[in-house]
Structure 1
Amino acid sequence: MDTQHNTALTRALAEVPGPLPTRGVIHITIPHTDRFTVVGNHLAQHPHLSCTAVGLAVLIQSLPQGTEISIKALAARCKEGEKRIAAALRELEAHGYLQRLRHRLPGKKVITRTVFCNQPAALLHPRPRPAAEARPRPAASAAVPAPAPIQVPAPAPVPTAAPPVPEAPVARRVPPAPPFVPLAPLVPPPTAPKPPRPPLPQPSEFTAELDRAATALLGDLRRHAPQFTLSEDDIRQLAPAVAAWLERDAHPDAIRRTLTDDPPRPLRHPVKLLKHRLTALLPPPLPGACDLAAPARPRTVVTPFQTCDDCDRAFRSPTPGHCRDCREIREHRGEDVRVAA
C-alpha cells in the first residue's frame, strides 16, 4: 500500500482517442478556460535556442504589459542566476524575439525600452491593416509629449463666380458576410464513443493439429518473455487467432518474435497486446505456384506465304490458291477460282 496510484490520470488515459503509442510521450489535452498564454511552436521547438531561453521567452510573454523584465527583476522571479538570464536574453535578442531600444526623454534623460515580439517572422511580411485600425490612435502614455502642430497661415480667398457644389457621396453596396459555418473538430472529444474493436482472426478449418500447435506456442511464450504468462482461459481465447497465423504458413519463431518483441513498459495488459498484434499484424496467405508464374504473352498468328497456281506469285493466305489478280481474271472468264479460306 506504499505506492500511490493517480486514478484520475488512469481515467484520462482511458479516454484518449485511438490506440496509445508504445513509446514516447502521451498527451492528455484539457482545454484552458483562464490564465493561459498562446505560444507558437516556432518558439517552443526552436532548434537554435536553449531551453533556458525558451522558458524565459514564455515567462516574458505571459507577463502583463508594463512589467519590469530587467535582468535583476527576472533573477528575482527565476531560480537561474543573472549570468544565465543575461545569456538567454542575448539569445532571444539575436533571433529577433527581444529588442532593447534607447529613448531620450525631455530633460536629456535616456531610458531603455524592452520590446518582446511573440512572432518575429511576421514582422518581415506585415499584413495590411483594416481602415479602422489604420487611423492614428491617441498616445497611450502622457509621459512622452506629442509634438506641437505647426500652424500654417491660410491662403487668401480667391473670388469666384459661384462656390462649387459638393458631389453627393456614392453609396457603395457592401456584400453580405457569408454565414458562419463551424468546422468539425479534427480530434474527437474524450467522451466520444470508441469504435468497436475488430474480431480476432479465425482459421478456415480449426483442426486438432492447429489447436495443439497454437496452444503449445502460447503456453511457451512465458519461457521467452516472463511478462507473457497466460492463463488457460486466455490461451483458449487466443488459440484460434494463432491457428490462423499457422494456417497461413507463418513460422512459429516468427509468430513468437512478433508477439513478444518490444512490449510497452510497464506492460499492464499482456492479453490485450496479444489480441491487437494478432489482429493488426496478420500476414496474407502465401501465394501459390500459379500466382508466382509469369503471365503468358498472347501469341501472334502470322499468315504464311502461298504461291499462286497460275502466275507463281507469292501472296499471304492460310491455304493454297490463286492471287487476287488471277482470281479476277478467272472470274471474268467464268472459270473456277480457288479462293483461300
Structure 2
Amino acid sequence: MTNITVIYNSTYIAINYTGAVLWGGQINVSGFISGPPNRLITLSIGNLNMSITTVNNAFNISIPTSDLLPGNYSLSIYVTPNGTYAPTTYVGALMIYALIAKPNVSVSNVAIAGLPVRASINVSPWVSGLPITVSLGGSAISLNLTSPNITITLATPLLLGMGVHDLVVSVGQRPPIGGGYYARGIFVVNPLEIALPAIALIMVMFLARFGIVRLRRSPQQETQALPTLPMTATITTPRPAEVKAVEERIIKLAPSGKINIPSVKEVVMALSQAIATVSMKTEVKLKPTQTLREYLTAVRGKLDPQVYSVLSELVGIAEYALYSPRVPTPVDVARAWELAKVLSQ
C-alpha cells in the first residue's frame, strides 16, 4: 500500500471591517483572498449568514445591523477550498452600540386624583416612530413619537391614594435608540380622602343632636396599642462577594485599556451591583462567557417592562463606557448609580 499525501497551497486572507457600528448602520467588510480570482466565502455575524464570491480575489460587502440587537459580536469569515488552495477562516470582534434616549419632562409637582395631568416631554436623541410609555399610579398611555417634543394628558385614577407617586417615562427601542427611562415623584392629593372623614364627623354630630345616635362619653379614655402584625422581610441586597464576581466577569470581557479609567470603573461597579441584584430576583446569573447584551436578553422575560427598561439603559451606559472611544462623564456615572439604586428597590 502506498500512502499518498495531498498538499494544498496555503490561502492568505486580509480583512478590513468596521469594528464599532451604530445600531441601524452598516458593517462594511472588504478583503483580499489569495488563490483563484473567484472564491466563495461565507460571512457570519450573530444569526446573520451570507455568501459572496470574490472578484479578482477581492470582495466588498455592507451588512445591515437593523436585524441585530446592540451588543458585542464575532465576525466569522470562512473561505471554501478551491482547486489546490486550502480553506481558511478569520474571526474578529465587533460592537453594535445604541444611543440612550434621555427624556426631559416638564410637569407640575402636585396632581389631584381624578383630574388629568399634563406633561411636556422632550426626548433626545430620538427617531420617528420611537415607542414611549408614560404612566402614573396605574394609568398609562403609549404612543410612537412623530416629534421629539410632545405634550400628553394623562388621566389619574379617582381612587389613587394620597401621597407621592412616580411619573414614569419609558422609551422603547428603535435603531439607533436603545431605550431610555425617567422617573419623577409627584405628590397626589385625593380630595375624597380629605373630605370623607370631615363629612362623616358632621353626619355623626348631626345625628347625635337629634338623638338618632348617642355618643358615649367616659371620664377616662383608655388607649390600647394596635397589635403588631408579623412581617417577613425579603432581602434583595446581594452580598459583596456576589457583586465582586459579577464585576470580574464584566472586566474579563472588557478592553484592558478602558477598565483602568476611574469613571469606567464607577460605571462597572454600578452595573455589577445591578446585575447581582437582578440575578437574585430572577435566578438568572451572568455567565462567564456571556456578553452584557446576551444577559439582558436572558432576563427580559423575567422582569417587569419598566424594570427591564432601567436595566437596558444601564447596560447601554456600560457598553458605551467599555467599548466606545469616549470616556464616561460625571453625568454618566451619576446616572449609572441612579439606575442601579432604582433596581435595588
More strand by share: 2
Band of TM-score, shorter chain? under 0.3
More helix by share: 1
Task: Compare relative contact order (CA 8 Å, sep 6+) and give the higher one, 1 or 2.
Answer: 2
The structure that has the greater radius of gyration is 1
Normalization by structure 2: what TM-score? 0.18
